[in-house]
Amino acid sequence: MNFIVKRPSDCTDAELTQFHALVASGGEVAIDGLRERIEEAHSLGFCFDGPRLVGVVGLKRPEAEYKRDLFDKAGTTIEPDEFLEIGWAYTEVAYRRQGIASTLFGMLLAEADTPVFATARIHNDTSRRILARCGFSGEGQPYAGRTSQIVLYVRRIDETLLCD
Ligand SMILES: CC(C)(COP(=O)(O)OP(=O)(O)OC[C@H]1O[C@@H](n2cnc3c(N)ncnc32)[C@H](O)[C@@H]1OP(=O)(O)O)[C@@H](O)C(=O)NCCC(=O)NCCS
């Protein structure tokens, strides 16, 4: 496996297109404006098996209003302004449970010099365990998402834990 983390501005158009396609194939992310959000991200994590992209995670720069709304819904008093968001995690089914997402989370978090938050569906135990192993803790209370309850996770800047 070949793991790569890049700024979007350093990616080729083909890499951005592949990243977009894999995130979109997961079916969990709003597709409207996704390409623009990928291009504006802090950094993108890719896992290739030969020429084939099999896993992605992104360190995103969400809009202030989106962050404020999300932190309010979770009922936390944490100030969201400085936070980046980690997400768009998707590993192709045949490649799961080999540490791909955990490795990409660790590589992207090593790039972050700010606090980072993430959201996870309440029943997505794998995502929640990856976040916990990467030093995130649940914040506030679960809130209603489009199809299920969502938990907000935050990782503060002084957090020294890395993904294992
Ligand atoms: C969530 C998702 C991204 C995880 O990707 P992944 O590459 O399988 O993640 P990892 O391999 O790092 O970790 C998954 C599990 O495999 C385990 N694992 C990692 N390496 C392993 C290895 N070499 N041997 C056995 N198990 C291993 C991890 O401990 C973890 O186990 P757990 O669920 O019991 O905690 C993937 O399941 C996915 O794409 N799901 C659909 C989209 C989704 O839910 N995205 C997250 C939205 S928040």
Domain ranges of the chain: 2-155
H and E: helices and strands count for the chain: 5, 7
- The predicted-structure confidence for 58-83, as pLDDT tens digits, reads as follows 999 999 999 999 999 999 999 999 99
pLDDT of residue 163: 56
Banded pLDDT at 113 (limits 50, 70, 90): confident
Give yes or no for residue 29 having a pLDDT over 70: yes
Out of 54, 117, 126, give the residue to mutate to test ligand 1, the one with the largest number of ligand atoms within 8 Å of its CB.
126
Q: What is the CATH number of domain 2-155?
A: 3.40.630.30
* Nearest-atom index, ligand 1, CA of 130: 35
C-alpha triplet 31, 33, 34: angle, nearest 5°: 55
Ligand 1 mean position, distance from CA 103 (Å): 10
Does residue 164 register a pLDDT over 80? no
What does pTM read for this prediction? Answer: 0.94
Q: Whose CA is nearest to atom 28 of ligand 1?
A: 97
The average pLDDT across 114-127 equals 96
